Amino acid sequence: MQKANKILEVEQLVHTYDTGSMKVNAVNDINFYIKEGETFGLVGESGCGKTTTGRMIVKLLDITSGTIRYKGKDIAQIHHKKELMKFRREVQIIFQDPYASLDPRKKVRDIIAEGLDIHNMAASKKERDDIVAELLKTVGLNMDFASRYPHEFSGGQRQRVGIARALALNPQLVICDEPISALDVSIQAQVVNLLKELQKTKKLTYLFIAHDLSMVKYISDRIGVMYKGKLLEVGEAEEVYHNPIHPYTKSLISAIPLPDPYFERERRRVSYIPLPYREDLKLRELKPNHYVYCDDAGNF
Amino acid sequence: MSNIQLDVKNLSVSFSTQAGKVHAVRDVSFSLHKGETLAIVGESGSGKTVTCRTLMRLLSKNASIDAGEILLEGTDILKVSERNMRHIRGNDIAMVFQDPMTSLDPTMKIGRQIEEVITLHRKVKRKEARKRMLELLQLVGIEDPRRRSRQYPHEFSGGQRQRIVISIVLACNPKVLIADEPTTALDVTMQAQIIDLLKSLQKKINTSIIFITHDLGVVANVADRVAVMYAGKIIEIGRADEIFYDPRHPYTWGLLNSMPTLDTSAPSLYTIPGAPPNLLKPPTGDAFAPRNEYALAVDELYEPPMFQISDTHYAATWLLDARAPKVNPPAVLNKRREEFIKRSGLYAES
């Protein structure tokens, strides 16, 4: 792969939730970058901070400390209305739950066109309808669906509406926050195919957040593995899956269920017991482009 | 046969809705042997959850059981009075639901919730129930049960909550345990732990398990036998190795094929075209025909019967008829089968 520009750089990112009685570092000093046109997969168990990271990138959550740079610019420094609008157009998010992320009282047309209205991107009602029809076609939905309500659709169809909404503003970076976890296996494949195809035709960059490792491996160019707010391993998808270095990554990979009873009967799961936190642990490049969270001597 | 724990015969269930009658389960028959795990797989809306709720007689008011019988060790539980059914629920058949968030009472300490079940079903004193409750929590792997039993559901993680639900279910040592997508809301590591827990408990108390899921990876791990449902019918049933390495129904092929393995690098994943049929008016002929690339002319007219492939393996597709043209399953599945044969040759089972 030739050298592409880094569209997103995350440095020493921290997010702290203050519950009143205690402070939780949901994201604790993570560093990674995403190159233009690639898919970066972020995997980890629930509660590891992957969604929090995604939400900070789209400015739905404030950054406690550290920086996120989008196209070289610190997103915390985007205050000016015009700049902020531009950022919001270019960075979009697809949410996990297609049942909760669509307003039940709005027609599909208005859900998809909401961004167009806010950003004054449709000059007339006709142009607005045309754009919506085009988007519905792009995501493989019937154009008549525009005047229907979300409850009339299945989970897979709703997720397509969510994708159409994210695409409406011609974004460059799309955060996919577990877009397939709530869907059936056969529908998952459809949505993943759609996302891949859109990436090709629209030159999109994805941050793909999920806990389903086989799907993430399939869709991603590079992968980051998160655990309790820390990024433990980053590298090319093939490399991380076939030569995992960190014990947590090994345990995750050993737990992936495969449709193969013989394999499942013989499988040995590796369990992971985290070591106590030490100051000298950080993400180090152990192999070219393969980073692992460890100390100087390579201990985890 | 005494080996059969539960026998479902020609079960049909429908729901009356404003739009008409929805035929959710259509002529489903299967049996569950003692101590085995039967997995039921299928897309959402294929009738797997309705089938199992019927086994518990937990259907909503607009549902009607149109035909069939459910024999639990010889007694038809569809004919049992509601009063007696209450005794069967929990004692004989128990169910673990998909979402552990909603199946526990958020306002009640979890210790009380478990004790409640014990005192309801067993005539024991409070003190004894409490002792049993602590044992159960220990059994499902909750650390420090004495302290944790005084906590509320929101103080537990998703995986721990599911463990608690399982401990409630186990309070009465049920003969049949129905697990309705118990791991869908959990991530892979938790999922693996819950499955291991269920398997080890099954060995200990020798329950039969019906495991509902749409995740074929999980099925491969837990199931002795697998039933594939589509549009309210069982379209293929057999031992796990038969379903995974020698599937015969094109729908099963599609399901297996649409799941990527770690070696999948094809530019796009296989998908089954189209959507499931509307069960308001089930189609004549084979319900899967419009989505089936191997569909025959006869599929449009007549519903295929169950063809027998082996003692344990049945599938409902006209492709198995002697007059049908020979169709090979997708290449990927053939490859998988060859690998299996190769391996089982290496590690020949006794």
Determine the distance in angstroms separating the CA of B2 from the nearest CA of chain A, rounded to an integer.
Answer: 28
Look at residue A1 in the predicted model and tell me its pLDDT.
Answer: 44
Disruptive mutation site among A39, A183, A186 for chain B (greatest number of B CBs within 10 Å): A186
Listed ranges A9-23, A101-115, B212-226; the one with the highest mean pLDDT: A101-115
Q: Band of the pLDDT at B227, cuts 50, 70, 90?
A: very high
pLDDT confidence of residue B344: 60
Model confidence band, residue A161 (pLDDT cutoffs 50, 70, 90) = very high
Look at residues A198, A290, A240, A283 and name the one whose alpha carbon lies nearest to residue A43: A240
Residue B23, Cβ density class (10 Å: 0-12 exposed, 13-18 middle, ≥19 buried): buried
Q: Calculate how close chain A gets to B99, using CA atoms only, in Å.
A: 13
State the pLDDT at residue B1.
47
| pLDDT tops 70 at residue B2 | no
Q: Do the chains contact at A257 and B215, CB–CB below 8 Å?
A: yes
Residue pair A145/A136 in contact by the 8 Å Cβ criterion: yes
Cβ contact, residue pair A193, B269, below 8 Å = yes
pLDDT tens readout for residues A231-274: 999 999 999 998 999 999 988 888 888 888 887 877 777 778 77
In a domain, A239, yes or no: yes
- CA distance, residue A79 to nearest chain B CA (Å): 37
Kindly write down the DSSP assignment for every residue of B205-265, as one continuous string.
Answer: H--EEEEEES-HHHHHHH-SEEEEEETTEEEEEEEHHHHHHS--SHHHHHHHHTS--TT--
Contacts of B260 in chain A (CB under 8 A): 189, 214-215, 217-218
Q: Nearest Cβ partner of A185 from B220, B259, B262? A: B259
Residue A299 located in a structural domain: no
In a domain, A300, yes or no: no
DSSP single-letter state for residue A19:
-
Asked if ipTM goes beyond 0.90, one says no
Which residue in A has a C-alpha nearest to residue B46's C-alpha? A184
Q: What pLDDT shows up at residue B94? A: 93
Most confidently predicted of A166-170, B291-295, B322-326:
A166-170
Mean predicted confidence (pLDDT) in A87-108: 92
Please, what are the domains in chain B? 1-92+202-350 (3.40.50.300)
In percent, how much of chain A has pLDDT > 70? 99
Higher-pLDDT residue of A97 and A60 is: A60
Range of the domain at A93: 6-294
Q: What is the pLDDT of residue B264?
A: 67
B interface test, pick of A193, A236, A249, A260 with most B CB neighbours within 10 Å? A260
Interface contact B16, partner A, CB < 8 A: no
Q: How high is the mean pLDDT of chain A?
A: 89
A189–B217: do the CB atoms touch at under 8 Å? Answer: no
Instruction: Answer whether residue A108 is part of any domain.
Output: yes
Q: Is the pTM of this model over 0.90?
A: no
Contacts of A196 in chain B (CB under 8 A): 267-268
B220-237 average pLDDT score? 94
How many distinct structural domains can be found in chain A?
1
Angle at B3 between CA B2 and CA B6, to 5 degrees: 95
What average pLDDT score do residues B61-70 get? 94
* Segment 32-71 of chain B within 8 Å of chain A by CB: 43-44
Q: Which of B2-6, B66-70, B167-171, B264-268 has the lowest mean pLDDT?
A: B264-268
| Chain A residues within 8 angstroms (CB to CB) of chain B | 45-47, 154-155, 184-190, 192-193, 196-197, 211-215, 217-218, 241, 251-252, 255-264, 267, 269
Closest CA in chain A for residue B255: A186
Answer whether residue A55 is part of any domain: yes
Contact A64, A16 (CB under 8 A): yes
Which chain A residue is nearest to residue B190, measuring alpha carbons? A45
Asked, for residue A1, whether it belongs to a domain, the answer is no
Q: What is the pLDDT of residues B88-117, one digit of tens each?
A: 998 899 999 877 778 899 999 999 999 999
Residue A203 maps to a domain: yes
Residue with tokens 């106590």, as numbered in its chain = A276
pLDDT given at position B345? 55
Please report the pLDDT score of residue B350 as a whole number: 32
Indicate whether A114 belongs to any domain.
yes
Residue of B nearest to A271 (CA): B189
Q: Does B241 touch chain A (CB under 8 A)?
A: yes
pLDDT value at residue B347: 44
Asked if the model's pLDDT at residue A92 lies above 90, the reply is yes
Question: Per-residue pLDDT for A141 more than 60?
Answer: yes
| pLDDT bucket at A3, cuts 50 / 70 / 90 | low
Residue A263, domain CATH: 3.40.50.300
Average pLDDT over residues A81-95: 94
Q: Which residues of chain A neighbour B275 with C-beta distances below 8 Å?
A: 154
Buried b (16+ CB within 10 A) or exposed e, A1-35: eeeeeebbbbeebbbeeeeeeeeeebbbbbbbebb
- Is residue A2's pLDDT more than 60? no
